[in-house]
Amino acid sequence: MTDPSPLATSFESWRAAGFDAAACPIRNVLDRVGEKWTLLALTALAPDARRFSEMHRAIPDISKRMLTQTLRELERDGLVERRVFPTSPPKVEYSLSPLGRSVLGPLAGLVDWAEHNFSAIRASRAAYDTRPPQL
């Protein structure tokens, strides 16, 4: 047997500690990062702070309600900072926190992997979708 990867070793140590969903980094943190809109929101904020309308233009297929929910969840997790300017009407701006900036490196690796493997994944999906149903 080969040496286990660091990922497998981490998973086994979390598992050995007993099941506690609230203490499991995979469920607790990576569930958020793996949500449909999170990566796009973080990527949209990577260059600079943006107002809500700028965020919506940057991710045009997200509903305003879902964008609001995503930004609130990211703010709650400490990845995004919300700044309200005392103007009339109030100006609200979103930016990555230092913690949010720290996730950009690992996410860049995932984005790079997705870009390099997208055609292979699409081909696999097409092959799977055309094969006969299995029992």
Residue 133 reports pLDDT greater than 70: yes
pLDDT band at 46 (very low <50, low <70, confident <90, very high): very high
Residue 80 in contact with residue 98, Cβ under 8 Å?
no
Q: pLDDT tier at 71 (50, 70, 90 boundaries)?
A: very high
Mean pLDDT of 5-17: 76
Residues 119 and 70 placed together within one structural domain of the fold: yes
- 43-48: average pLDDT: 96
The reported pTM is 0.79
φ/ψ of residue 81, rounded to 5? -110, 140
The pLDDT value recorded for residue 4 is 67
> Domain residues for 13?
1-33
Contact 51, 92 (CB under 8 A): yes
Structural domain count, the chain: 2
Q: Is residue 135 part of a domain?
A: no
pLDDT in tens, 98-132: 999 999 999 899 889 999 999 999 999 999 999 99
43 and 102 part of one domain = yes
